[in-house]
Structure formats: C-alpha cells, structure tokens
Structure 1
Amino acid sequence: MTNSINRVLIVGGGTAGWLTAGILANQLNSNDPQAVQVTLVESPNIPILGVGEGTWPNLRATLQKLGVDETEFMRQCDATFKQGSEFINWMQPKEDKTHRYFHPLNAVYHAAYDINLAPYWLQGQAGDGVGYDQAVATQAAVCRAGLAPKKITTPAYEAIQNYAYHLNANKFASFLAEHCTSRLGVKHILANVTQVSVSETGWIESVSTDKDEVIHADFFIDCSGSKGLLIEQALQVSWHSISDCIFNDTAMAIQVPNESDNCPIATHTMATATDSGWIWDIGLQHRRGIGHVYSSHHCSDDMAETALRNYIGDKADELSVRKIKMKTGYRDTFWKNNCVAIGMSAAFIEPLEASAIFLTDAAATMLAEQFPRNIESVPLVCKKFNQTFQLRWEKTLDFIKLHYCISDRRDSRYWIDNCQQASIPESLQQKLAHWRYHPPSKYDFEYAFEPFVLDSYLFVLYGMNFPTDIRHNLSSYPDTESAKQHFSNIQTMGERLKRELPSQRELVSKVYQFGFQSL
C-alpha cells in the first residue's frame, strides 16, 4: 500500500534519539522484516553534552520493557540510585541556619491524592518544627542518612523506596545504541545530514548525508537538539522562547573525581541556590557531576565559574570547566505533517527537577503506542500529540518557575526579578492565589498526564514555607486523630528503614560486583 508508513528515520542520537529508537522499535517489533523499520542517523563528530544526569522512576519501567538488564545498565553507565532532590539555600537563612528541604520521589506511606496530610501539617499536627518532607515521607530521612532505596536481595527493578538513577549521559547513549542495534533491530548510520528534501505538500521525503547517501523514509523524528534540522530548518516551525520567565540560559560544568573508592555517594541530587542561579551536584560511582546553572543577564561567566569552583573547594583549581549555552522554550507545534520533534529539538525548560529524559520517554511512548500505520491516520494522532505536549510543557514551566517565585530571597537582582509578577505565568499566579487559602488538592490536578503531580507541588510549596491560611475552613479537616496516627506511623517506618537499608555506596558496590537477582 503506497500510503502505509513502514520506514521511520530518526535524525540525531544522544539520549533522546536512542531512547526514542528503542521505544519505537520495541513497540513496533522492528526485528521482524515485515514490520515498521527504524533507522537512526547521527553525526560521528558531535559530542554529547553529558555532565551527569538525573532521571525519574519511569526510566526503570522503560528499561525493563526494552529487555535491559538492570545490573548491566548500571555497570555500563556508571549509574547510582536517585531518590529525589534536596534544595539548599532557596530561602533566606533563619538564625544563620541554612534552609534545606527534600522533594523525594514518593511519600511511600500514601499518595496525597488519596490521603492529603498537608492541612493537618499546616495545623501543626505533625509536631513543632517538623518539616513537611519529614512529616509525610520516609524517603527524606533515608536520603539524609545516605541510604539506598533497596537491598542487594531485592530483585532487579523492584523497590523498597521508589527510585530513579543518576547516570553518565555519554555512556548511557552508547549503551542504548548497542542495545537497540543488537537486540531491537534498529539500523544505525553514522553521517552528517546535509540536506532535507520536502515535497510540495510539505511532507519530508528524504535526507541526504555527507556520505553521498539519500535516505528515504515515510516518517521522520527530529532528535537533532536545539538546531532542529527537520522541524525548524526544513519545516519552518518556530520556537517559543520562555526567557522572560526562566532566566537561566547558561551552565558551567565540572567533573570532580571522588576522593576515594569508598567515599559516600549521595542518594539524591543536591540543588544549591546561588546569587544568580543554582548548582547541581550528582554522585556517580567514581566522580561527581557538578555544574552551575545561571542567568548570563544577572552574572558574568567569570563570576559563575568562581561560584562553582568555590562550591567544589581547593581541588577545583586543577579541573577543567565546560560552558554550555541553553536555549529555553518549546516549539509552537511538536508534530507537523510526517515529522515529530522529540528531546531538545522539541523543548527545553532547564535542568532543575530533571524533567528532560522523562518528557523524551513520554513523547516516544505516546508516539509508539499511537503510531499511525498509514497517512490517513496522521492528522488525528498529530492533533492528540500536539495537544498533550503543549499542556505538558506548559505545566512543566509552571512547576519549575514555582521554585523561584515563592522564594523570600531578595539579596540579588536575580531573585528580585524572579519574584516579579510579570515573570510568573498567569496560570501559576492563579493557583498561588488560591493556595493561600486552600492547600493544593486533587481538584487542582485534573489532567491524567500531569508531569508533576500533587505530591510534588506540596513538597516544594511547604518545603519553602508557602503561607496557606486555612483557619476559615478547619471544619473541612476533622480527622485530626487519624492524621496524628499517620504522622506517627511514617516516623516509625522511617526509623525501621534507617536500620534495615544499606548505604548507597555499599549497595552500588555490591551491584557492580554481584548484580541483582533476575525477576
């Protein structure tokens, strides 16, 4: 059938390209010569900007579905376990005490959508001075103690505490490439795309490479990063900048070797706010990936590098730094005709909360599950995809901006500007106005594919002491004794986990040496 879609070409590699290739090839059974065939073409001389990346728990399910052995993945990608993020100095210190709070990956005991303890925490039912993260989550205590989310006897991909990974992005892309080509039937071409041929109807027909090769396909996926070789340069889809809302546009990154083979490894991402941005700190097996994300309009490169080196300490003097420019925003449309943009060619907010790999995974999964097998099916799937990811990126923008705009820091122009009403999306302004008198609830999260759920908002809002006055509505929260019992149970469970779980370093070492049990 001439209108069938049988050949898919992905332009661009890296995490976005190879994760998309794997998800599509697995879903569409590309190992069968009669099924949809997936080909990936990537440049042999464009480096991957891998600086040590954080992921979300969805990656566990995706890797398992692709047939990846968790032990082998961790060994090949220098991976460690991630249980959340700790935010440091995002509020003014009180009594010279550094402000810090956790956004863990789950509350373990329950989800706020089912039992929302926030109103009772606001009333002080958890106890004086008990932070929200400590009150409702066991994972905050586990992270503070440097403990792992499971034991070596826990089967692969299963969890005692929900977890994701920290990983070496360069090695992850290479690992996925080998797995996709050897196990999932993906064809790999190393070449630079030099030309894109578009028909009179606006559909892409083929790409030409510097190897004098013309690659024809029925469907194209743009994973070429911010260049947008297909979606922008060929199809003229414009970019919607969010620089008026998210000020960070540059990063300085340094790889810091561990002091010893037995030194502790943090089981969470550390995000420490600075005068003009924030510093990430991610622990891998042999090194830490540390970088300063900042606004070049509020800080010079020299000042940003100095802040980064001061954070690292004396040993930073001998380490090289890499500067990375960031293009923040999203496409006016993500899917046009027979081309979909995934990864940084589609959108990029900033590294805070590590949403990039999650949204790549989500886009590739939706495309794979809804894949149009003929041209007539494209308009409907295209419309659904664009609507879904327009909403997902707008909601991601709201959540990232939340971290900045509710801060009480006013010690630099950067923080003053971040809290100006003009820089806050109207949708977020409306929510914050409502949440001053009503804690967030399930009624605020009606969309099935929210990137950041109710629990995430609660951890950030009340980790940053957002003022919610519920005195007018106390009769809506009568279950005081039940809430106190929940708080007590969480503390008891946390103490038990601290006794039973191994340290992050201990578990990582055992995984690398012995591996997990197979499911």
Structure 2
Amino acid sequence: MVQAIRRIVIVGGGSAGWLTAGMIAADHQAASPHGLQVTLIESPDVAPIGVGEGTWPSMRDTLRRIGVPETAFFRECDAAFKQGSLFRGWREPAGDDYYFHPFVLPQGYGEADLVGPWQAAYAQVPFADLVSFQPHLCAKGRAPKQPGTPEYAAVANYGYHLDAGKFGVFLRKHCLERLGVRYVPDHVTGIASHDNGDIAALHTREHGALAGDLFIDCTGMQSLLLGRHFDIPVISQRHVLFNDSALAVQVPYQSDDSPIASQTTSTAQRTGWIWDIGLPTRRGIGHVYSSAHTSDAQAEADLRAYVGSEGMPTPRKLTFEPGYRREFWHRNCVAIGLSAGFIEPLEASALALVEMSAALVSDDLPATRADMDVVARRFNDAFTYRWERVVEFLKLHYVLSRRDGAYWEDNRSENTIPERLRELLALWRHRPPSRLDFHRIEEVFPSASWQYVLYGMGFVPAPGGTRRADPEAAAHYYREAADLTRRMLGALPSNRELLEHIRRHGLQKI
C-alpha cells in the first residue's frame, strides 16, 4: 500500500485517451528519465466513435497546457471557432423562436440585476441579445478574434468545432513526438489482478503483460476495465432525459466560400433535436432522438427534411444509455470519457468532462497506493456532483418548452424533473440564478449559463420577483453591450476569412 505510483496505463485512444495521456505526460514530465511512465494501449481492431465535435472555451487552456500550437491544431483537425449555441424552435409550438447561449458573460454580470429591467422594459428583445455582444457576432458569422491576435488569445471568448477523428490522430502524434508517451497498438485480451483486487497488469495479444500502478479506462461505452472487469454499473438517466439514439451525417458546403457558422445550432424536432456544426470543409449534422417516441425510419426522414434529401449520405446510427457510473474511480482504476458515462450531446459536455477528469487526475495524482483511496473518494464526489448538474442543466432546456406532442409533454411531466431542479425553478421565480445556487469553485455550468437558457426558454419571474432591480444601472450595461456590438462587428473578420488566414499564414505565438 506504500508503493509509489510511477506507471500510468491508459486503455483506449480517441480524444479521451490522448487528452488524458497528454495532460498527465505534460504535467509529470513523462519525457524525462525521472518523470512518470505514461503508456497508452489502443486496439487497432476498435475504431473511435468519432463524435463530440464541439468544445467549450476550456479546450483552449487544455491545448495550451499540453503544449499544442493552436495554428497546427486548426490546420490538422479541420477546426473552426465556436462562440456558443443557438437554439431554434425549442420554446413555441410554431417553432419560429430562437435564443443564444453565448460563451461570454452578460455585460455587467454580478454588478447589476439585468433581469428585472429587461422584463419590465425590453421583454420583446431576447435576453442574450440585449445583455451580450456575442449573439450578434454569431448572427453575422464573425470570428472571435482578429488575424493579429496571438494564439489562444481572444477578443470574444471561444471554443472550437473540430473533426473528432482527426483530433485523436493529432493528439497521438503530439503525445508521442513531444511528450514522451509510450504507445502500444494492441488488443487487450485479459486482466491480471493483485490479491487485494487491484489491477496488476493487462494481457495483450502482441506485447504480453503490461503492468501498471494506475489504470485509466478510456475504452468508450464498452468500459472494459471499470464496467466489465469491476462491474461498476451505470446509473441510468433515461427517466429524466429520454434521448438514446442519434443519426449522424457529414454534409459538404454548397460552395467553397459558404459562410461557416460561429455557433452550434440545435433545432428542435418532434421527438428530439438536430445539431448543425460548421467546420472549414463540411458541416457535421445529426439527429438526437428518443427511440421510445419515434422509429429510426421517422428520425431519418426528419433528418433528411432538415438537410435536404439531395446529396445526403446514409447516416451513421449511434445508440447510448443516458447515464453515468455509480463510481468513476474504483481501486486503482479510473474511467474517463464514454467509459464513465454519456448524456446526449446537447451543450457539448462530453469533451469538457474529459478535460475536467484528466485535469483532476493529473492535479491530484496520488503519490502512493495508500493515498489513492482518498483521492478516489474526492474524485467520485466531484464527478457525481458534476454529472448531476449536467443532467439538470440539460433538462432545463426541455421543462419550459411549450411544444406539442408526447415527447415534449413527457419531458414536462413533473415526475421526470429532478428534485433539485424543481426547487431551483421555484426559487428563480423570485430572483435570477446566481452564485448562491452554484457554489463550487469549478462548476460545470456557471450561473450565467443557467440565466441564458432560463430566459431564452421564456421563463417569466413572479411580479416583483427581482426586488433589488436598478433600471438605470441595467440600462448602462445594455448600452455598453450595444456599443461593444457595433465596434466588434466593424472590426472582426468573418469566421471563414480568419480560418483561411490561419491556413495560409498561421497565428502569432504568444
């Protein structure tokens, strides 16, 4: 139990495996003779799922942390800028409504109550459009920075859209060439255990037994280590979030100079929603739906109606059990990525949870096996909390909808709404979401995000609910947001223009 933790073995590649390998290797000097040994086993027989094309702004910090040049990332991963999400047709039966969830905070957030004066005098204007400049940048297809802005720096906060398959290959190359990760392309055939139940080694087809001190399960939904070997079950969330299927396609642009969207667009459907992501060379489009409320054939018909039947390739079918593991770290094994759980890709939380998991493992890496159980309890507490908040935040998008049909009516049913979310909705009748509701230092979604969705979905506070509203202070910040909008629209290039500049000339180093 006092054995030092020196050998980290990661099973599974893709975005989850290579991001985790890169984080630990960079932080713990795997390329140095005195650093930790980081080994990644990736089966040549198993192709990565290749979804998760949207990221949060946190990915900028992650890539910079592991030493990735942003110019190379854009060029090799078919990446584009993402400044938030646009939701179409989620609120009203007619389906002609919209709202933005941008990546920047409302202007004056935390300095003034922006909600009461908006309701009193500007309710005809979407909340995000009034309090933030970023929805207007997205609407005009603007980039979040200028050609002279250095790598990872921003004028407007941004994340990425990317080709998930290319991203995994790019990360593998970086980890092997720059970070000292040991790569074993092989298939795991068995697991050897210590007498105390810890994993001792993994048997492989070509390389024999590979021993380790800490094993990280990035094997996707099969969860080879945590799920199959340790039999840690998934806590299903199907009773809260019904979607369990998706059809995904890649669609070319009509022309080489077609605009590239600055946001992920999520368009509500009869039994789910459709994502639309713009990359430099194509669009990634998919229909997420509930198999209990529609058939695959009808879901594909709805997708074809959105894309246009002409030229739409045969979609790829994905199925998943919405939920997360009862434990994420058990004995000397921790699951990261799909092996830890998966909830529908609304709000692109999958890669963000990978980043958070990899960072916490690396930052809190136990020095000895004796320390590991303490670290595991802390990790499990943190990620049970985070998964619960993800479920509640995604459910918020559904519970306020006024759309017709069994799918939407079931989503509004009281017995499908988590108790904590019901309590928060009652509180928010009398005050906006705030830091009082989300008090952990590293919340998954800050209170500003809850405000954007809550008021984007048409939530109306009780009369007199915002008791400390100061209309003059709020109006000052509304004017500030409008002034920033005018200046940025005049100064920022289009998404495609900046991406073409990066392809040809690159970005300045910081």
- 2:429 aligned with 1:433: no
Amino acid at match of 1:30: A
Distance 2:8 2:270 in 1: 46
Name the structure 2 match of 1:494. Answer: 485
Q: 1:52 touches 1:282 (CA, 8 Å); kept in 2?
A: no
Amino acid at match of 2:499: V
Name the structure 2 match of 1:69. Answer: 69
Name the structure 2 match of 1:389. Answer: 383
- 2:463 aligned with 1:466: no
Where do 1:403-418 residues align within 5 Å? 403-409=397-403, 411-418=404-411
Distance 2:175 2:69 in 1: 13
Q: 1:205 touches 1:216 (CA, 8 Å); kept in 2?
A: yes
Residue 185 of structure 1 and its aligned partner are, at CA, apart by 0.5
Amino acid at match of 1:513: R
Aligned with 1:146 (options 132, 141, 145): 141
Q: 2:83 touches 2:263 (CA, 8 Å); kept in 1?
A: yes
Residue 109 of structure 1 and its aligned partner are, at CA, apart by 3.2
- 2:149 aligned with 1:129: no
Residue 49 of structure 1 and its aligned partner are, at CA, apart by 1.9
Q: 1:116 touches 1:441 (CA, 8 Å); kept in 2?
A: no
Distance 1:200 1:209 in 2: 21
Residue 467 of structure 1 and its aligned partner are, at CA, apart by 1.7
Q: Which SS does the other structure have where 1:160 is aligned?
A: coil
Q: 1:52 touches 1:284 (CA, 8 Å); kept in 2?
A: no
Deviations 1:317-367 (A, max 9, x none): 4x1210011221111111011110111111211100001111110111011
Amino acid at match of 2:40: L
Aligned residues: 510
Given the superposition, is the C-alpha separation of residues 261 and 198 from structure 1 closer, same or farther in structure 2, using an over 3 Å criterion?
Answer: same
Residue 262 of structure 1 and its aligned partner are, at CA, apart by 0.8
Distance 1:273 1:176 in 2: 34
- 2:116 aligned with 1:119: yes
Residue 397 of structure 1 and its aligned partner are, at CA, apart by 0.6
Given the superposition, is the C-alpha separation of residues 497 and 352 from structure 1 closer, same or farther in structure 2, using an over 3 Å criterion?
Answer: same
Name the structure 1 match of 2:42. Answer: 42
Name the structure 1 match of 2:330. Answer: 336
Q: Which SS does the other structure have where 1:492 is aligned?
A: helix
Name the structure 2 match of 1:199. Answer: 194
Residue 97 of structure 1 and its aligned partner are, at CA, apart by 7.1
Amino acid at match of 2:4: S
Amino acid at match of 1:238: P
Residue 123 of structure 1 and its aligned partner are, at CA, apart by 2.3
Aligned with 2:494 (options 484, 495, 503): 503
Distance 2:90 2:420 in 1: 22
Amino acid at match of 2:331: N
- 2:179 aligned with 1:184: yes
Where do 1:64-463 residues align within 5 Å? 64-93=64-93, 98-107=96-105, 109-110=107-108, 112-124=109-121, 127=122, 129-211=124-206, 213-317=208-312, 319-409=313-403, 411-463=404-456
Q: 2:112 touches 2:474 (CA, 8 Å); kept in 1?
A: no
Given the superposition, is the C-alpha separation of residues 472 and 80 from structure 1 closer, same or farther in structure 2, using an over 3 Å criterion?
Answer: closer
Given the superposition, is the C-alpha separation of residues 108 and 160 from structure 1 closer, same or farther in structure 2, using an over 3 Å criterion?
Answer: farther
Name the structure 2 match of 1:25. Answer: 25
Distance 2:16 2:67 in 1: 18
Residue 114 of structure 1 and its aligned partner are, at CA, apart by 4.4
Q: What is the alpha-carbon root mean square deviation over aligned residues?
A: 1.4
Distance 1:464 1:99 in 2: 9
Q: 1:108 touches 1:162 (CA, 8 Å); kept in 2?
A: no
User: Which is worse superposed, 112-121 or 330-339?
Assistant: 112-121
Amino acid at match of 2:221: S
Q: 2:232 touches 2:327 (CA, 8 Å); kept in 1?
A: yes
Amino acid at match of 1:65: R
Q: Which SS does the other structure have where 2:228 is aligned?
A: coil
Name the structure 2 match of 1:482. Answer: 473
Amino acid at match of 1:159: A
Q: 2:25 touches 2:179 (CA, 8 Å); kept in 1?
A: yes
Distance 2:327 2:52 in 1: 30
Q: Which SS does the other structure have where 1:396 is aligned?
A: helix
Distance 2:481 2:326 in 1: 45
Unaligned runs of 5+ residues in structure 2 are none
Q: 1:249 touches 1:326 (CA, 8 Å); kept in 2?
A: yes
* TM-score normalized with structure 1 length: 0.96
Q: Which SS does the other structure have where 1:196 is aligned?
A: strand
Q: Which SS does the other structure have where 1:350 is aligned?
A: coil
Q: 2:247 touches 2:318 (CA, 8 Å); kept in 1?
A: yes
Residue 22 of structure 1 and its aligned partner are, at CA, apart by 0.2
Q: 2:144 touches 2:156 (CA, 8 Å); kept in 1?
A: yes
Q: 2:106 touches 2:128 (CA, 8 Å); kept in 1?
A: no
Given the superposition, is the C-alpha separation of residues 5 and 114 from structure 1 closer, same or farther in structure 2, using an over 3 Å criterion?
Answer: farther
Residue 438 of structure 1 and its aligned partner are, at CA, apart by 2.1
Q: 2:52 touches 2:350 (CA, 8 Å); kept in 1?
A: no
Q: 1:309 touches 1:316 (CA, 8 Å); kept in 2?
A: no
Amino acid at match of 1:338: N
Distance 1:363 1:314 in 2: 40
Q: Which SS does the other structure have where 2:166 is aligned?
A: helix
Instruction: Report % sequence identity.
Output: 44
Which portions of structure 1, spanning 4 or more consecutive aligned residues, are displaced by more than 6 angstroms? none
Amino acid at match of 1:504: N
Deviations 1:179-229 (A, max 9, x none): 001100101111111111122311000011122511111110000111111
Given the superposition, is the C-alpha separation of residues 470 and 23 from structure 1 closer, same or farther in structure 2, using an over 3 Å criterion?
Answer: farther
* TM-score normalized with structure 2 length: 0.98
Unaligned runs of 5+ residues in structure 1 are none
Q: 2:112 touches 2:473 (CA, 8 Å); kept in 1?
A: no
